[in-house]
Amino acid sequence: MSLRTILQAVLLAGMATAQTDGAVALSPATAHAATPTTLQDGQYWIRAVAAPNFHKYLQTKPANEPGGAILESSKTAGQFNVDDGQLVEWTGEGTAPLYMHVEKPDDMTQRKLATWFNTTKNDFGTFVFQGDALTWSTPEINRQNLAAWLVCKDQALFINTGAYAYQTPEGCSDQTVSYSGRFRDLHKWRCGGPLIYVTKAEPKQPRFTD
């Protein structure tokens, strides 16, 4: 039985028990409201900006519940901010936030590190918004590109500890992810054109894309 199948089964039962290469205890799943398409104050959308995951958004599945970090449809995009080095997902009024965790390997040369969300704070590395990119770093790993990520099987998101677009692990694609709080409405940020995620300036003639 695949790990994905196990994780899905456990989440449906209300408690997740494992994630990727290491055993990770996740908090009990709770029902949350659907993600709104209007940003809450202080929150950001985070999405991929390169093929084959162009305009895929960071989230969990089910949305807003503890589980693996994935890039998927804008219809279920999560809302995030960075607070004291933690990447925090807003899950709704009156509900506990989620924190992105990063796998801490025994071998610090491991090429890809799993990521997931839980109600407890991450204890490995630091998240920072730099420019328009989401970065992660730790003194224990010398990364060439702090904004390098990998999207692998089932849209799972990993930290890329190696060079971007060089010797990419089989079954994965290199990716950077950007954020925006400039556009309060999700459909406005989905307008085509690089000005959206580089300068955060409204294009004069927006072209809507998925």
User: Does the residue 73 lie in any domain?
Assistant: yes
Pair type for strands 112-118 and 67-68: antiparallel
User: Does the residue 20 lie in any domain?
Assistant: no
User: Does the residue 134 lie in any domain?
Assistant: yes
Instruction: Give the pLDDT score at 26.
Output: 54
Degrees, nearest 5: CA angle 62-67-68: 105
User: Does the residue 74 lie in any domain?
Assistant: yes
- Domain range for 51 is 32-198
For residue 66, the domain's CATH number is 2.80.10
User: Does the residue 59 lie in any domain?
Assistant: yes
User: Does the residue 19 lie in any domain?
Assistant: no
Q: Tens digit of pLDDT for each residue in 83-110?
A: 999 999 999 888 999 999 999 999 999 9
User: Does the residue 10 lie in any domain?
Assistant: no
Q: How many domains does the chain have?
A: 1
Q: Tens digit of pLDDT for each residue in 106-159?
A: 999 999 999 999 999 999 999 999 988 999 999 999 999 999 999 999 999 999
